[in-house]
Amino acid sequence: MKRRGRGLASMWYPVGFTVAANPSGAVVKVNEDGTAVVLTGTVETGQGALGVLSQIAAEALGIAPNDIHIVSGDTDTCPMDTGAIASRTTYITGNAIAAAAAMARDTLFEVAAGMLGVKASQLEAKDHKIQVKGFPARNVPIADVALRAHIVNGTPPIGSATWNPPTVPLDPETGQGKPFGTYVYATQIAEVDVDDETGEVEVLRVTASHDCGTAINPMLVEGQIEGGVFMGLGFAVQEEILFDKQGKQINCNLTNYIMPTTLDMPAVECDIVDSYDETGPFGAKAVGEPSLVPTAAAICNAIYDAVGVRIMSLPATAEKVLAGIKAKRAAEQKQIPA
Amino acid sequence: MIVTLTVNGELRSASVPPETTLLVMLREHLHLTGAKTGCDVGDCGACTVIVDGLAVNACLMLAAQADGRTVTTIEGLATREGLHPLQKVFEETGALQCGFCGPGVIMTSKALLDHTPEPTPQEIRTALTGNLCRCTGYVKMIEGVQEAAAMMRSPQSPALAGQSPALAAPEQK
Amino acid sequence: MAQDLMDRELDVLDKERVAPVETLRRSDEALRLPAVAPPTALPLEPPLVPQVGEQTRAVGLRAQRPDSRNHGLGLTRYIDDIALPGMLFAKIKRAGIASARIKRIDTSRAEAMPGVCAVLVGSEIPVNSFGPSLQDQPLLAHPIVRHAGDGVAAVAAVTEQIAQAAIDAITVEYEPLPGVYDALEALKPESYKVHGGDTNVYASKVIKRGDVEAGFAQAYRIYEGRYYTPGIEHAPMEPFTSIADWDANGRLTIHASIGRITLARCDLARTLAIPISRIRVIGTVVGGNFGGKNEIRHEPVLALLAKKAGRPVKGRFNRVEEFVASTIRHAFHMDYKTGVTKDGRLIARQVRMVLDGGAYCSFSETTLGKACILSTGPYEIPNSLAEGYVVYTNKTTAGSMRGFGAPQVCFAYESQMDEIARDLGIDPVEIRLRNMFREGSMSSTGQVLHSVKVKESLENAVKKFGWEVQS
Amino acid sequence: MKPFGYVAAIDSEHAVALLAEYGKGAKVLAGGTDLLADLKFSPHPPPDVVVDISRAADLKGIALTDAGLRLGAMVTHSEIVHSPLIAEAAPALAEAAVVIGAVQTRNLGTIGGNLITCVPSMDSGPTLLALDARVTVLGPRGRREMPLSELFVGPRRTSLAFDEILIEIVVPTQNLHKPAAFQKFGLRKGQALALVNAAASFWAPDGVFTEPRIALGAVAPTVIRAPKAEAYLTGRPVSEEAMAEAGRIAATEAKPITDFRASAEYRRDLVAVLVKRALAGAFGRVTPNQKDLAS
């Protein structure tokens, strides 16, 4: 018989480690037609980093994401970057790119100030235009400003910047200090069916609410959450590297290392918490790693809710759950007086 | 030995050792690198191509077994007129992340839609069990296949004409 | 072997004529055609950018990813899709034994094989150690093997098939050593020491806040539990692959599926003992990382093979190597002891964790640090003490993986939270609300927190899920 | 992969001739899904030549013959899944075929290959055993026919000589439409090896278990029948309790091993559950007019 259960788990996760130097550099070059090239030393590892970074650069320059071309992942041409690790790309590389874009934009403002007859400090970049704050009708297209900067003024708009989160090292005795720039938070709730004859756990749906600061691209945030729930599901009920007594892996292939397939994956309901972090680029923090953190606990708590079995070691395989159910039944039998 | 295939509508031959898999022939002899080597033993589906209308693991088929047959790879899906609806939907919805599993997922889905134009979500899930993906949790893929199926059923499908529906939308106002 | 191979092939071709296959269509003409070029729809309209009237927006937009079109067309160029002219293929011989001393390696049969261009063993590597914090990991084990996935020799040959045959022809004589295969065993004084010395503990961490003993003394109830999470494989769909290519001026270019090229370049300069300026690392699109592609694996080996052979060398892990010769997620043993008040407030928490680090350090220190800091959960706990240790074992190296220790400790602290809630008869939502961080809360390290949204995430999830709180 | 030669057989006679010619250095390639995966990582020397029988025309096809429902050895799992004939006459075969591997391997893999590979966890075996299927083998000494159970000798071992091939599987006419069902339990829902699988069939004239058959996979060196459980059911009125008891008896007949996938004890527990569910599934296929067929 299938027994339904629900469980929840919350978590916190740090962004932008500060226990060691953690810098990113960025270069933003505005082209003659008002589009831009961004140089970054990070590498696209599938999460959509280059898309997010394009959106950050575009926002800073008042142009559209596909006006940005990103050159990445080359130590000869790109500035130093600590890399696509530790959920740092949006937060740290994003901050560096936002700063570099602002620097290139300042050059555009200098040129446009002359064209519009105002001070550079009165200008803003928006909708492909440089315009006077409060008087958007007084504007020049960014393309015109950029062309003028390049071939008339001789001041090509190029910005470069680095960003490294401010640090307070941890006290070696007590571990007190400020080890991270900021933190993100999340709660996930899982609903499961447990087959009390086989111990099989079927995860039916997972509701995942994540704080990631500003969602630079909500579609990509959802993608990270869905992928995180997938990985958390594997962690919860399927995945485990098995070693023999001599330290050799037993299940070292994708036949025997069990990870979820399409048929195992539950429905995922994503929620992005309304949030803004003033230390992040346009308020953004991170979502890549955190999305998998609470899933296993939520699922195991749901298993307990369904059949009263507390999972103390992962993964909660069907065999383990059934053993728990049988042990519980045996204990209950004992308690009932004859 | 000489193996001759019709690949993406064109007849091609290559001289390959007999133990060459279809995947190696495609990638290394015909330079069609869309199908990927993920596990090389038929677990992950990254090498999926369509042979005579059926999705198969190109890593588990000798090139010789495909001799004389018709092979469609991911490179054969788009046309001059535009993207295949699966490609269109997948790119717009971010259905792929690192993208390594993508060619296999799209080819398996295409084979499904060729035989089952109106698949249920369960049928899509069943069809895609042989395509492992470590990034996406499959969610946007499963939705995407359904959306592409709907698009293909509609004769007015803008994607088929190579035009994006969202770009076309403002003109209708 | 290769000669043998060619003889056999001729033989087989001959026999093939005996057994014609009528169903096949043969076309000699087709052989004269060029290799198939991908028929694509390029050039296409640029990717879609949703626009809202005249206004250009960027942040907050569900914009299409710049790489998604190439992904869908199968045109994204991953590292294994790149072939340089004259490129050789490398294979690494894995120890297959977890703890041993290499007495002798005989590569002569491999070197004599037609098609083999270079052979390399650990003693030939200028600086045979690397690692992001401790440089304790050899590129090719020499002379001590510390886990079964350690490489012991490498070959570059004209085809992968010949490279594999050459690897099979290399014989290694081992003197088996004792080993330790369990993290808790490794803590014991009498255990085998994987790296010598007097302990297998190579990193430890303490995070201390308030006075836990005083907290437990005040507690209404105390809950204790031992939690375990196993080693996990990153299992990216793209196996680890790299290409090493020297130019005539002695400058090295490494094409690699690595998410952290800056660090990779430092490691390359150090291990090859050449100036960093003579190395270029090009990070190709990574086909799935999850922390498993954050450091070098075999690149200096490929570089040295390429230098010996005078030709570019590609090395690609097969799926088994992806498991045994890459890093994995740390297995965690966690003891949680938590004191609560009658109304479900956490007033003291003590955590002790032991991480199975495997054979080498890799990103263990970072993982341990994050795990200890996060182990108290997103809750205000006035008294907490977290202690963590990472130990060497003769198993696959544990390194960085998505979450860096957070999924492990979250499993423990949230399982225990559920237990506490049920025991005290408080709804799991309610007990969390009573303890959660709020704006300005102080974390376990004394950091004042800002943009704290954990309560909002809980409330949103509860609402979206349809969880009715019983108070 | 290590080098080997390749020849393709036009038909079964040709295949047998090729095997005779190449002797023990030859390996038969059916769908290739098991063979190629093995050859890639095998430490053993490769075969001299693989004989591809997947193109042999007379080994294909699903048809009704005088003997019963004939499946050519090279019928793929996908063909079984989509066959209207099977859906009508032996739907449990499709139930078993659809959980083998994934679409891509079902399109290549064949029922003959699955049986000949003879791994204890094969999904093709139990249903065929439960329907008393017979197989035909062709070799240089001619054809021979036998019950499927006689094909299985041990893990990865069959009673075929090196120069023989399996050419067809027949579900006898009297067992067509016999209510049957297949159950599988793996470590995940999709693309899983069976920890345990089970098939059951029986007629139910007047609500009485008649000619019950129970077959189990992955709990013994080969796929096996559970004769004691069958004997217990024979002549007993159909009831849930009887099905559960038959499951418990079958569990005692299983001889599972403990390995990294599961313990023997857990596999026994699964046998009891899956047998019960397979019997219930079969009972769901009993239609009123089948009482006549059975008599």
Q: Is the pLDDT of residue C36 over 80?
A: no
What the block records as the tokens of A298 is: 């939520």
Q: For residue range A169-222, what is the model confidence (pLDDT) as tens digits?
A: 889 899 999 999 999 999 999 999 999 999 999 999 999 999 999 999 999 999
| Same fold across B2-74 and B85-161 | no
Q: Residue B166's pLDDT is what?
A: 39
How confident is the model at residue B155, as a pLDDT?
66
The reported pLDDT for the residue numbered D287 is: 80
CATH architecture for residues D58-172: 2-Layer Sandwich (3.30)
pLDDT at residue C327, as a whole number: 97
**Contact of D134 with D170, CB cutoff 8 Å:** yes
Angle in degrees, CA B46, B47, B51, rounded to 5: 135
Is the residue at C47 inside a domain? no
Q: Which residues of D touch B60 (CB under 8 A)?
A: 32-33, 36-37, 104-105, 108
In the stretch 246-275 of chain D, residues with CB closer than 8 A to chain B read: none
> In this predicted model, what pLDDT tens digit does every residue of C177-216 receive, in sequence order?
999 999 999 999 999 999 999 999 999 999 999 999 999 9
- Under CATH, to which class is B2-74 assigned? alpha beta
Q: Is residue C4 part of a domain?
A: no
Q: Both C126 and C162 in a single domain?
A: yes
CATH number for the domain that contains residue C373? 3.30.365.10
pLDDT < 70 stretches in chain D: 289-295
- Sort B70 into a burial class: Cβ within 10 Å, 0-12 / 13-18 / 19+: middle
Substitution target in B73, B81, B100 with the highest count of C β-carbons within 10 Å is B100
Q: Which of C415, C419, C405 is nearest to C331 (CA)?
A: C405
Q: Is residue A167 part of a domain?
A: no
Could you tell me which residues come within 8 angstroms of residue A103 by beta carbon, excluding any fewer than 6 positions away?
Answer: A28, A158, A159, A160, A161
* Mean pLDDT confidence for A7-36: 93
- Residues A32, A150, single domain; the answer is yes
**Cβ pair C451:A213 closer than 8 A:** yes
Cβ of A262 within 8 Å of Cβ of D185? The answer is: no
Residue A332 annotated as catalytic: no
Give the pLDDT of residue C43.
Answer: 61
Residues spanned by the domain of C263: 241-324
Output the CA–CA distances (angstroms, integers) from residue C40 to B92, C48, C135, C228, in the order listed.
18, 19, 47, 51
Q: Tell me the two tokens of residue A318.
A: 């069907």
The answer to whether residue A174 is domain-embedded is: no
The span from the CA of D128 to the CA of A164, in Å, is: 67
Q: Within this chain, do residues C344 and C225 fall inside the same structural domain, yes or no?
A: yes
Q: What is the mean pLDDT of residues C326-335?
A: 98
**Same domain (yes/no): A200, A64:** no
Asked, for residue C40, whether it belongs to a domain, the answer is: no
- Which chain A residues in 242-281 lie under 8 Å from chain C, judged by CB atoms? 243, 245-249, 252-254, 257, 259, 269, 271, 273-279
For residues D197 and A58, give the distance between their C-alpha atoms in angstroms, rounded to a whole number: 57
- Read off the pLDDT band of C27 (50, 70, 90): very low
In tens, the pLDDT along A285-331 reads: 999 999 999 999 999 999 999 999 999 999 999 999 999 999 999 99
pLDDT surpassing 90 at residue A86:
no
pLDDT tens sequence across A115-156: 999 999 999 999 999 999 999 999 999 999 999 999 999 999
For the ranges A163-172, C204-213, C412-421, C444-453, which has the lowest average pLDDT? A163-172
Does residue A155 sit in the same domain as residue A76?
A: yes
Asked if C320 and C369 sit in the same domain, the reply is no
Q: What is the pLDDT of residue A43?
A: 95
Annotated domain spans of chain D: 5-52, 58-172, 180-286
Looking at chain B, which subunits does it touch, using at least 3 CB pairs closer than 8 Å as the criterion?
Answer: A, C, D
> Quick one: A102 and A189 in the same domain?
no
How many structural domains are present in chain A?
Answer: 2
Q: D280: closest CA among D232, D185, D209? A: D209
- C13 within domain boundaries: no
Task: Answer whether C22 sits within 8 Å of D3, measured CB to CB.
Answer: no
Backbone phi, psi, residue C353, to 5°: -130, 145
Helix axes A295-307, A218-237, angle to 10 degrees: 50
The domains of chain B are located at 2-74, 85-161
- Backbone φ and ψ of A122, nearest 5°: -90, 0
CATH of the domain at C93: 3.90.1170.50
With bands split at pLDDT 50, 70 and 90, how would you rate the model's confidence at B172?
very low
Question: Is A176 a member of any domain?
Answer: no
Q: What is the pLDDT of residue B93?
A: 95
Per-residue model confidence as pLDDT tens digits over C373-389:
999 999 999 999 999 99
Q: Is residue C51 in some structural domain?
A: no
Question: Which of the four pLDDT bands, split at 50, 70 and 90, describes residue C87?
Answer: very high
Q: What is the pLDDT of residue C31?
A: 66
Residue percentage of chain C with pLDDT more than 90: 87
Mark whether A8 and A74 lie in a shared domain: no
Quickly name the fold that domain D5-52 has.
Answer: 3.30.43
Instruction: Give chain A positions within 8 Å (CB) of C324.
Output: 248-249, 252
Same domain, A41 and A85: yes
Could you tell me the CATH number of the domain that includes residue A30?
Answer: 3.30.365.10
Name which residue leads in pLDDT, B161 or A95.
A95
Question: Is residue C75 situated within a structural domain?
Answer: no
C-alpha–C-alpha distance, residues C203 and B64, integer Å: 55
A314 within some domain: yes
Determine the distance in angstroms separating the CA of B120 from the nearest CA of chain C, rounded to an integer.
23
pLDDT for the residue numbered C23: 37
State what percent of residues in chain A have pLDDT above 70. 99
Q: Does D17 contact chain A (CB < 8 Å)?
A: no
Among C278, C303, C324, the domain-final residue is C324
Q: What is the mean pLDDT of chain C?
A: 91
Query: What is the per-residue pLDDT for A85?
Result: 87
Closest alpha carbon to C252 in C313, C323, C208: C313
Name the phi and psi angles at C291, rounded to 5: 95, -10
Whether the CB of C281 is below 8 Å from some CB of chain A: the reply is yes
Under DSSP, the state recorded for A41 is: S
List, for residues A253-282, the tens digit of each pLDDT value: 999 999 999 999 999 999 999 999 999 999
Q: Supply φ then ψ for residue B90, to 5 degrees.
A: -60, -40
3-state secondary structure of A99: helix
Per-residue pLDDT, averaged over B58-82, amounts to 93
Domain boundary among A102, A128, A161: A161
Is the same domain home to C310 and C447?
no
pTM: 0.95
Instruction: Report the CATH architecture of B85-161.
Output: Orthogonal Bundle (1.10)
CATH class of residue range D180-286: alpha beta
Which tens digits make up the pLDDT trace of C189-199?
A: 999 999 999 99
Q: Which domain holds residue A57?
A: 17-161
Q: What pLDDT sits at residue A248?
A: 97
Domain boundary residue among C283, C309, C324? C324
| Contact residues on chain B for A219, CB-CB shorter than 8 A | 93-94
DSSP H helices, C274-360, are 299-309, 319-324
What is the identity of the amino acid at C154? Answer: A
C219 and C334 both lie in a single domain: yes
Indicate the range of B33-37, C61-65, C350-354 predicted with least confidence.
Answer: C61-65
pLDDT tens profile C140-151: 999 999 999 999
Confidence of residue A167 (pLDDT cuts 50, 70, 90): confident
The shortest CB-CB distance from B94 to any of A223, A267, A268 is to: A223
- Count up the domains in chain C and report the number: 3
Asked if the Cβ–Cβ distance from B75 to C38 is below 8 Å, we say yes
> Residue B82's pLDDT band (boundaries 50, 70, 90)?
confident
Q: Are residues C169 and C127 in the same domain?
A: yes
CB atoms within 10 A of CB C320: 18
Strand C221-229's sheet: what is its strand order?
A: C201-209, C383-392, C346-358, C331-340, C221-229
Choose, out of A193, A198, A257, the residue to mutate when testing the contact with D (most D CBs < 10 Å). A198
- Whole-number pLDDT of residue C353: 98
- C220-249 pLDDT, tens digit each: 999 999 999 999 999 999 999 999 999 999
Round to whole Å and give the CA distance between A185 and C437. Answer: 10
pLDDT for residue C45: 67
If you write DSSP's letter for every residue of D142-180 in order, what string do you get? EEEEEEGGGTEEETTEES--TT-EEEEEEEEGGGTT--E
Location of structure tokens 């047959």:
B69
Q: Which residues of B touch C80 (CB under 8 A)?
A: 33, 36-37
Query: Distance between CA C27 and CA C30 in Å, rounded?
Result: 5
Query: How far is Cα D214 from Cα D181, in angstroms, rounded to an integer?
Result: 10
Asked if the ipTM is above 0.85, the reply is yes
